[in-house]
Structure 1
Amino acid sequence: MRNIQNTDAALIHKLHSDPIVNAFVGRDNSSTLKNAKDYIVKMQNLIDRNECIYWVISLNGSDNLVGSVCLWNFDFENEIVEIGYEMLHDFQGKGIMSEAIKKVIEYAFEEIKAKLITAFPSADNNNSVSILKKLNFEFEDKKYNNTHANIKNLVTYTLRNSVS
């Protein structure tokens, strides 16, 4: 995992053009290379303002983006942070995202000192829900810091820091 770079624009565009990924994250399919470049600037600005931590996922031996994972929607008062993630369709189902999320969970609990990580997948996204369950996230009937409006069949999963 690494920081997002301006050179990621073409692969961000590819990721944001994937209709399956977009359906699950509530994004329209109108990505362009300019939109991808604007997205990178937006992420870099959020990072600079400490409103987001964003990692590009790449395979060992390659710098090419295959997905991304982020922590955002920080609720410092209640020590809650949201995790978000997406992966190019060709790389799904290979354990890559699980490995990346494990590292981000560790970071959230050890570095940020979060007590709770929230995730808001579509219940229709079986891969995402399976990853969360595998990593001990639990289904909850509470909205927490959810700001998503465009995701169909949105559900809440949480993971509590067991050492805090």
Structure 2
Amino acid sequence: MRQPDFSVFPALTTSRFVLRKLSLDDAAVIYQLRSDIEVARLTGKKPFTSLDEAFTYINRIENLINANECIFWGIAYQDTEALIGAICLWNFDLPEETVEVGYELLPQFQNKGIMAEVLSCVVAYGFDTMGAKAIMAFPSSENPGSVKLLEKKGFKQAPDHYKHTHADVAGMLTYILSAPT
């Protein structure tokens, strides 16, 4: 896996969507995504309680991208800038040649095939551009939609020795997709 270089942001497109850089204009949607108590419970994260946390989060993501520590895309339909979700590659392990994928969609956009389309694009980026040998995902066992999506995209449940960064989150599963040979 190559050392990432995001000095030029890699905007991506699918047949229906643009995966673009976040801006501070996205703070209200980021707040919506990150303040949902159920989503926070499933991901082991503390829910946001103010819009200021969303601004801080966007700035932190920008700093991580600038430091080549993650790549984070906002998801929007091609005909609008309105953010509907986000997807990222992070937790780069250069020696092991692995990356982790994370994603989220506003509830009204779930179960419409959006994340399946976007995930395929991001997985291709991880393998083809970044040179990853495997992509990891850590859905909650209580999130059957996410598990079903990963399995549909070819991810397999991994052996128990793979640990999540939030290993204290009960019910966190480990899925892995190996690069095509």
Name the TM-score, length of structure 1 as normaliser: 0.94
Partner of 1:121: 139
Q: 1:86 aligns with which of 101, 104, 121?
A: 104
The residue number in structure 2 matching 1:23 is: 41
Matched, 1:55 2:73: yes
**Who is 1:142 aligned against?**
160
Three-state SS of the structure 2 residue aligned to 1:147 is: coil
Q: Does the CA-based 8 Å contact 2:72-2:89 persist in structure 1?
A: yes
1:56 & 1:151 partners in 2: Cα distance? Answer: 25
Q: Superposition RMSD on alpha carbons, in Å?
A: 1.3
Q: Determine if contact 1:81/1:116 at 8 Å carries over to the other structure.
A: yes
Task: Return the letter of the residue paired with 1:116.
Answer: A
- The match for 1:155 is 173
Q: Does 1:104 align with 2:127?
A: no
- Contact 1:79–1:116 under 8 Å retained in 2: yes
Structure 1 residues 18-43: Cα deviation after superposition (integer angstroms, max 9, x where no partner): 22222221122343110000000000
Alignment length, in residue pairs? 163
The sequence identity of aligned pairs, in percent, is 42
In structure 1, what is the Cα distance between the partners aligned to 2:37 and 2:70? 25
Q: Give the Cα–Cα distance (whole angstroms) in 2 for the partners of residues 31 and 38 of structure 1.
A: 12
Runs of 5+ in structure 2 lacking a partner? 1-18
Hey, which bits of structure 1, 4+ residues long, moved more than 4 A?
Answer: none
8 Å Cα contact 1:21-1:89 kept in structure 2: no
Structure 1, unmatched stretches of 5+, are none
Cα distance in 2 for partners of 1:37, 1:118 equals 28
Letter in 2 for 1:108: G
